[in-house]
Chain A
């Protein structure tokens, strides 16, 4: 165990290969094109696209300037740049998922209020139109 640890400590830093970088760059560009296309077809609202676009740009930057990633890996104390990459992406996705839960909660509250407003409107109409309203109104006048 300790021998392994020592060996790992002495191992050289693992960098991204040229092949990985090319694939990442191509994917990043394709991803950003996809985002733009979704916006163009009205399937994605601009306000929810910004964060994805930034993610795509980040991916491209990582592929174009591997030095950036190595800096981050160093700062994290990770020898393998790939591990740093995975960690960053994982955190980013976690943040995004949380962001969506927050948006979802807000929309759930809005939907509830909308449903309540509609229900209230119906009840108000019923109260206004004779059916049972006559009785309610008479009592209102009395009190």
Chain B
């Protein structure tokens, strides 16, 4: 099956080439697309040198718009499967391949890689969240579970695999501000099968988390509004398109 692995990247020149090499190594059959979200550095050039296709947004549009670009490309170019992972080296491609396997086997339409469902014995370079992050995660976990009546542990995971149903939905409707959480709510509301798979994630190789305490609080507040509004949005009826 034709598979696209896409990587949203914003100013990730230090880590993007290694991630691409790793993906190509682990998933030789997949095409790799880097969505350069208006980077000011050499991200696009490094990605091209590393052998990836590059879709450059002319100015920074935010993670949601970048991810949507990837889904759009996968949909229009006729890929049957797609997956995305972060450009900072947190997501091991071997784990992405496992997610893709779930979708390929048609056990789910959308599979999320979860850091918090215990995948086995911990290793020294495993991902460890900070306290403020843990609070935010707890809040979102609670409200998303409430909204979808499905248990999610890693609501902001940027490691996902999807089939064409999801591509069709996300390329049309994808929140530019609040991509990760709203997309889960949306997919469940549209009747798609969403599943979490425990995965290992590493500490980031390059770049810094954008979260400060004030930003975290704002992020959580915005997230709750988005979730609340999302509950009252009209359904698009993905079932009809099946």
Contacts and interface: CB of A to CB of B under 8 A. Distances in A.
Given A112-B176, A122-B56, A132 B51 contact: yes
A15 to B, nearest CB: 45
Interface string A49-92: 00000000000000000000000000000000000000000000
Contacts of A116: 57, 61, 65, 68-69, 72
Q: Majority SS of interface residues in chain A?
A: helix
A143 B58 contact: no
A123 B31 contact: no
Interface in B21-43: 29, 31, 33, 35-36
B176 A123 contact: no
B37 to A, nearest CB: 9
B55 interface: yes
B53 A132 contact: yes
A139 B29 contact: yes
Contacts, number: 61
A8 interface: no
A127 interface: yes
A122 B55 contact: yes
A120 B29 contact: no
B54 A139 contact: no
Interface size bucket, B side? 20 to 34
Interface of B: 1-2, 29, 31, 33, 35-36, 48, 51-59, 61, 65, 68-69, 72-73, 76-77, 176
Given A112-B176, A123-B33, A143-B1, A118 B54 contact: no
A123 B61 contact: no
From A116, A132, A136, name the one whose CB has the most chain B CB atoms within 10 angstroms.
Answer: A116
A140 interface: yes
23 contacts: A112-B61, A112-B65, A112-B176, A115-B59, A115-B65, A116-B61, A116-B65, A116-B68, A119-B56, A119-B69, A120-B55, A122-B55, A122-B56, A123-B33, A123-B55, A123-B73, A132-B48, A132-B51, A132-B52, A132-B53, A136-B31, A139-B2, A139-B31
B53 A119 contact: no
A139 B4 CA distance: 12
A122 B35 CA distance: 11
Interface string A122-143: 1110110001100110011001
A122 B54 contact: yes
Contacts of B58: 115, 118-119
B69 A120 contact: yes
B53 A136 contact: yes
List the 8 closest A-B pairs by CB distance, nearest first. A123-B55, A119-B55, A116-B69, A115-B57, A119-B57, A112-B65, A136-B31, A123-B53
